[in-house]
Amino acid sequence: MVRLEELKYDERGLVPCIVQDAATGEVLTLAWQSREALERTLRSGQATFWSRSRGEIWVKGATSGNTQAVRAVRTDCDHDVVLLRVEPRGPACHTGARSCFFEAVDGAPQEPEAPGETLARLEQVLRDRRSDPPAGSYTARLYADENLRHKKIGEEATELVMASLRGDKDALAEEAADLLYHALVLLESHGVGLREVADKLRGREGRRRNPG
C-alpha cells in the first residue's frame, strides 16, 4: 500500500490522473490531482481533480451531473501517476462523448473498441430503453413482455448451437451477438448488469473443480 506522501508530485504539486471505467477498463479521461484533491476523492468517493486553468479543485459532475463514483485508486510502479477506477454516471467528456479519447490520429492503426466497451455501451442503451421506451422499439417490446423475453433466449440459444454444429464461424458470431443482446435485456429487466456478472466470473478464477 502506498501512502499519499509517497506519491511523486511535480513542481506544481500535481500528479496526472488516469480515469478508467471500472466495469470495462475503458480509459475515460486524463486529469490532474493535487494531494488535497486526492484526499477529497478518498473521503467522498467521488472523482475530484485540480483545474490547472482555473487554479482550483473541482468535483467531476458537480454541475453536469455526470459524476464518477470511485471504486479503486491505484498508482504506478514509479508512484508518479494515479489511476482512478470509476463507475461513471453519464459521459466523461465535456463534448458529451463517453470518453475523451475519441479523436483518431492520422496515420495510426485504428483498432476497433474493446469488446468490453461495446458491451458497456449496449448495456447503457438498453438501460435507457427501459427507463424511456421509444415508440416502436423492439427492445421496449421485450421489456413489456416477459414471455417474449424468455422465448427469445431459448430461440437464440438454439440457433447458436445450430451454427456451431454447422461450423459456420460468421453465423456463430451473428447468433452469439443475438443471444448476448437478448441476455442483456433479460438481465436488465431484473436490474442485473454486467458488473454483477463480472463479479461472478471473477469469483470463479482459480477455483478448483471437484474431481468427482
Residue 2 CA to residue 8 CA, distance in Å, equals: 11
C-alpha distances (whole Å) from 92 to each of 38, 65, 80, 137 are 18, 11, 23, 27
Structural domain contains residue 96: no
Co-location of 10 and 51 in the same domain: yes
What's the CATH number where 124 sits? Answer: 1.10.287.1080
Last residue of a domain, one of 70, 88, 106: 88
Q: Which three cell numbers stand for residue 92?
A: 466523461
CA atoms within 13 A on the CB side of 102: 12
Residue spans of alpha helices (H) in the chain: 35-44, 115-131, 138-144, 146-166, 169-189, 194-203
**pLDDT of res. 208:** 53
pLDDT beneath 70, residues of the chain:
207-212
Contacts of 97 (CB under 8 A, 6+ apart): 91
d(CA 83, CA 143): 37
Residue 202: predicted pLDDT: 85
Is position 121 within any domain?
yes
Residue 12 domain boundaries: 4-88
pLDDT of residue 33: 98
72 and 119, same domain (yes or no): no
User: Could you tell me how many residues make up the chain?
Assistant: 212
pLDDT at residue 48 in the model: 98
* pLDDT score at 210: 53
CB 28 within 8 A of CB 91: no
In 3D space, the residue among 52, 25, 191, 187 whose CA is nearest the CA of residue 117 turns out to be: 25
Residues 29 and 80 in one domain: yes
CB 44 within 8 A of CB 110: no
pLDDT score for 112: 84
How many distinct structural domains can be found in the chain? Answer: 2
- The domain that holds 64 is classified in CATH as 3.10.20.810
The phi-psi region of residue 201 (left if phi > 0; otherwise alpha if psi is between -120 and 50; otherwise beta) is alpha
What was the pLDDT predicted at 78?
Answer: 97
> What per-residue confidence (pLDDT) applies to 137?
95
Among 45, 72, 88, identify where a domain stops. Answer: 88
DSSP, res 93: S
